Amino acid sequence: MCLVGAGCTQNPYMAGAPNWQPPQAAVAPDAAQLAELRRRNQLLDDDNRQLQTQLAQREQRLQVAEEELTLTRDQLADATSRLQQSRMAENQARQQFQGLKASTQFRGGASLQANTNLKAQAERLNVGNLTARYVDDVIRIPIPADQLFQPGTAQLQPQAANLLAPVAQAIRSQLPRQRVGIEGYTDNTPLYGGQFSNGHQLAAAQTLGVMEILSRRGGLPAEQLFTMAMGPAGAGGDPATAAGRQASRHVDIVIYPETF
């Protein structure tokens, strides 16, 4: 209790007030601390940007890998399809060959007589600028496919009819009763984006084009002719070189000893 006049006071700011401390002023960080904080923030920003860059790169690589996987699957499916078609064409060619062999024995109950003088006739056969060879009991006249067709297509070259004219003339005059096969060969280059998906389809179309010229323009009976689409099978050229692939592309006119 404070008595009047005793000199006591309730003001805490007055000197002598018990247990009173002046308020502490806030201590501001110095320049070195600020610089350190800025450096740490900059390092964090750099790490963040680097991680974002790495993430984007990995996502991009993952997308490329997925696209390559899809492409590989498509190529595998295409290769499988072409293999199946090749086997089908091979079986078809084998059946045609067996049928031709059987035709040398009987057709409609009548025995067929084979021409056994083909070798001598091959030496006298005039087929223009082409060459007739007697091979394995047949006369074979190979013609480069690039001289008959636009490369990779069944579109005839302008000179195709003139190239085949002497062949048709020679068959009409010297071998009018012999069976004539037209064999189409291609290289092993895959066909993409065109009319044909594999070599057998291209060979089939090309042999039909040659058959039409020999029949319609060359005057050979349609029943005398037949076609065989061989594709890359037995083409003969080296598939590893451009010259070999070009040599693989040919159409052979094959004259058999059997008559029709």
Comparing 116 with 69, which gets the higher pLDDT? 69
Q: What is the pLDDT of residue 94?
A: 59
229 with 184: CB under 8 angstroms?
yes
Q: What is the mean pLDDT of residues 83-110?
A: 56
| CA atoms within 13 Å, Cβ hemisphere of 209 | 20
Please state the pTM of the whole predicted model.
Answer: 0.59
Show the DSSP H helices in 104-219 as ranges. Answer: 118-124, 145-148, 160-174, 199-212
Strands 133-135 and 138-144: antiparallel
Residue 167: which of 217, 204, 202 has the closest Cα?
Answer: 217
Which CATH number does 80-259 carry?
3.30.1330.60
Comparing 176 with 10, which gets the higher pLDDT? 176
Distances (CA, A) of 59 to 48, 62, 64, 70: 16, 5, 9, 17
Q: What's the CA gap between 212 and 206, in Å, rounded? A: 10
Where do the structural domains in the chain lie, given as residue ranges? Answer: 80-259
Instruction: Quick: pLDDT tens for 13-52.
Output: 555 555 656 565 555 668 888 888 888 889 888 888 889 9
Tell me the range of 18-27, 29-38, 110-119, 137-146 where mean pLDDT is highest.
Answer: 137-146
Instruction: Quick: pLDDT tens for 149-163.
Output: 998 899 999 999 999
Q: What is the pLDDT of residue 86?
A: 62
Residue 108 — very low, low, confident or very high, per pLDDT cuts 50/70/90? Answer: very low
45: enclosing H helix or E strand:
helix 31-103
| CA atoms within 13 Å, Cβ hemisphere of 190 | 10
Q: What is the pLDDT of residue 145?
A: 96
Three-class SS state of 189: coil
205 with 156: CB under 8 angstroms?
no
